[in-house]
Amino acid sequence: MPRWRPPDFTRMLVGQHIVNGVSVGAGVLMIALAASAIFGFAAGQPATLGAISASISDMPSSWREKARTLSFGFALALISTSAIQLALPWPPVALATIGLIAFLSGMITGWGRWAVALGMQMLIPLVFVLGFPRETPAVALKIQALFALGGLVYIAFALLATIVTDASARRLVASETIRELAIYLRAVAAVFDPDADFEQAYGSAIRQQAMLSEQLQSARSALLDRPPPGSERMRLAATIGVLLDAFDALVAAQSEVTKVRAAPGSAPLLTQIGEALRVGALDLTHLSLEILTTDRPTLPPDHQRAIDAMRREAERQREPEAAHAEAWAALTAATERLALALGHIRRLERTLSDDRAAEAAIGGVDLAAFLPRRSYAWSTLRQHVRIASPVLRYSVRLALAMMAGAVVAQFLGDSGHGNWVLLTIAVVMRANYGLTKTRRDDRVIGTLIGCVVAAGAVAWAPAGVLVAVQGLAVVVIHSFVRLNYRLSSVGASVMALVSLHLIQPDLPAPIVARLADTLVGAAIAELFSFVWPSWEFVDAPGIARRLLARLASFTDVALNAAAPTQDYRLARKNVIEAIAALSDSAGRMSVEPVAARKGLEEMAALLMAAHGYIARLSAARLDIRAGAPPPDAQTRARLQRLLALKGGEAPPDAPEAAAPLVIAALAVVAAAGVYQRAARSGRDERKADA
């Protein structure tokens, strides 16, 4: 069978982010047209900017959660814009106000990754207001009132659009989640390919597992919010459990993958395994697209053929030479687990089409227990008010960078320069150097492309077409701000430059100046990334401790035959997220300066060891459910003692007759210790330099 690969742009062009981006663009454009018709184009700009400011935190979610987020975020925007309006008559006070608002914007990210947009809702509207000409208090009050009106109208529009598109949005998030599992299947196929580089394939599978974990978080938020029985919403909610059961079996199949790949004469079976996994991925992709057009999606009729071929090949070689019996036993077990995983694809089809199958998939699980909870409590931020906190350090860096940008902008002439320089700093600078560097490069390249596009549009397109270009640019910004920031930067540049031209069409478009401002802002963000930095190795001990704690909890539940399904699923969710956090940290560290990459190779070893241990636990869980006796109490107690070892504490040597689970746990603890020691050496070097 041909090795089919989906086009790379499938993930980019099919998903919630597109619908959300179109909705945001439509809302902003509607308010811009209404404000222009009522107040005039230039006078109505504050209302348009209010709508854009309110839309910053408009991300896919339920209408209840969106109402809380948009209202809270826009309240922060009103506070920051009011504060800067009051401070503008006194430049030193205005500079201090910019620093204070930037600091608070950074601290808000302590609520979690989801709160980054809230932080930007304090900062970006402030930059918008700085772009307005200095006016009398009465005119400033009118600007603020129009700004608030535009934002409030946008929030009402966004909530209405969310309610209207709720059914299609749920289908889209389910489709995206199924597609991410399909991509993971292809990654696992590479792991079993004897011709592929094992470490590279294994690392790719772990990275895709992290992406699947992130998508599952979005799916839980969208699908598990009180689905009524006997409805499409219930069937979509049930898919999460089925997908995770398939994921469990896929992970379990990798428990002895090195032994499987090395089994003599295994090439024909490994080839069939690869084909079965790729066909399964293709079928999942088919299902992910069909779910968008019907509430009763079906698999292709030949779905089972590749699974049967894999099993026939395993049956044909059932009796290997005695010398290789152990390796072939591992290969046979892996084949059965992969067949089980692929069988869940058929179960997924039934779950999406049949209410009783969906109810059986959910069982007695309380779906509300898996819903992500957002906290808006200010008390949560107190834990970050300490010298070692990455959030506090980021907040200080951001405040200093914004103040420096404001000072530099004073020497560049008109307010448009300062507006663009500060905007670049605000959107580029992130809590860690890796993300800042990536966004810096994307921002510069995106701005360059956007300037070229805007120059062509301004030179040749009439005003009516330019308004449409402005709306399309907003769609691009919001659709791709998380998925492809470079493309989002193209849209941002086009929108800003076209808007400036429409406000003052008789003036030449400042395209070259805006590109220069982007370079200045990016340079300031880069410079201040090294001020009181927080490198990834600083958090290494905490990440390793959390991983070991989650592994201990998962071990306790996975090896307990009487453990409730809900407890197992919660423990599995937590350990998947812990692995994803470690994988994300490795990705960020890989783009930090070489001198700051303390423990990067050791982190990769820990990731592989932890994944190997989880694979053995998942395999043991499947065996227990199939009727095999669980490990004895002594083995379970020893596993708990090992995983409870403190960082840096050397694990004991494994006796020759130790169970494979114990050996795998020892490998994890040893890798965690090596990783923590490498990170501590970096911290010691930093203290010595200080």
3-class secondary structure, 118: helix
- Candidates 305, 312, 282; CA nearest to 189 is 282
Residues 359 and 450 in one domain: no
Specify if 663 maps to a domain: yes
Residues 170 and 197 in one domain: yes
- pLDDT score recorded for residue 658: 53
Residues 512 and 620 in one domain: no
Residues 325 and 224 in one domain: yes
3-class secondary structure, 310: helix
For tokens 């409870």, what's the residue?
644
- Candidates 99, 68, 600, 130; CA nearest to 375 is 68
Q: 369, 496 in Cβ contact below 8 A? A: no
What single letter denotes the amino acid at residue 417? Answer: H
Q: 84, 97 in Cβ contact below 8 A? A: yes
The Cα 405–Cα 432 span in angstroms is 19
- pLDDT score recorded for residue 476: 87
- pLDDT score recorded for residue 4: 41
Q: 201, 193 in Cβ contact below 8 A? A: yes
The Cα 159–Cα 172 span in angstroms is 18
Residues 249 and 271 in one domain: yes
- Condensed to tens digits (0 to 9), the pLDDT of residues 69-78 reads 999 999 999 9
- pLDDT score recorded for residue 683: 60
Residues 37 and 144 in one domain: yes
- pLDDT score recorded for residue 145: 93
Q: 589, 536 in Cβ contact below 8 A? A: yes
Residues 451 and 550 in one domain: no
Residues 226 and 285 in one domain: yes
* Segments in the chain below pLDDT 50: 1-7, 322-323, 656-657
- Candidates 473, 675, 654, 548; CA nearest to 25 is 473
Specify if 378 maps to a domain: no
Final residue belonging to a domain, choices 366, 387, 419:
366
Residues 508 and 563 in one domain: no
Specify if 139 maps to a domain: yes
CATH number at residue 176: 1.20.58
Q: Name the domain count of the chain.
A: 4
- Candidates 655, 515, 682, 519; CA nearest to 597 is 682
Mean pLDDT of the chain: 84
- Condensed to tens digits (0 to 9), the pLDDT of residues 89-102 reads 888 999 999 999 99
* Residue 522 DSSP label: H
Specify if 372 maps to a domain: no
Final residue belonging to a domain, choices 486, 508, 533:
533
The Cα 303–Cα 310 span in angstroms is 13
- pLDDT score recorded for residue 5: 44
Residues 212 and 121 in one domain: no
- pLDDT score recorded for residue 242: 93
- Please state the separation of Cα 426 from the chain's center in Å: 20
Specify if 42 maps to a domain: yes
- Give the count of beta carbons closer than 10 Å to the beta carbon of residue 175: 23
Task: Give the pair of three-digit tokens for residue 224.
Answer: 């598990």
Q: 224, 370 in Cβ contact below 8 A? A: yes
Residues 159 and 169 in one domain: no
Residue range(s) defining the domain that contains residue 558: 536-689
Residues 501 and 579 in one domain: no
Whole-structure pTM value: 0.85
Specify if 506 maps to a domain: yes
Specify if 316 maps to a domain: yes
Final residue belonging to a domain, choices 533, 568, 591:
533
Q: Which residues of 7-20 are buried (b: 16+ CB within 10 A; e: fewer)?
A: eeeebeebbbbbbb
- pLDDT score recorded for residue 6: 45
Specify if 383 maps to a domain: no
For tokens 């920051």, what's the residue?
80
- Condensed to tens digits (0 to 9), the pLDDT of residues 376-433 reads 888 888 888 988 888 999 999 999 999 999 998 877 765 555 577 888 888 888 887 8
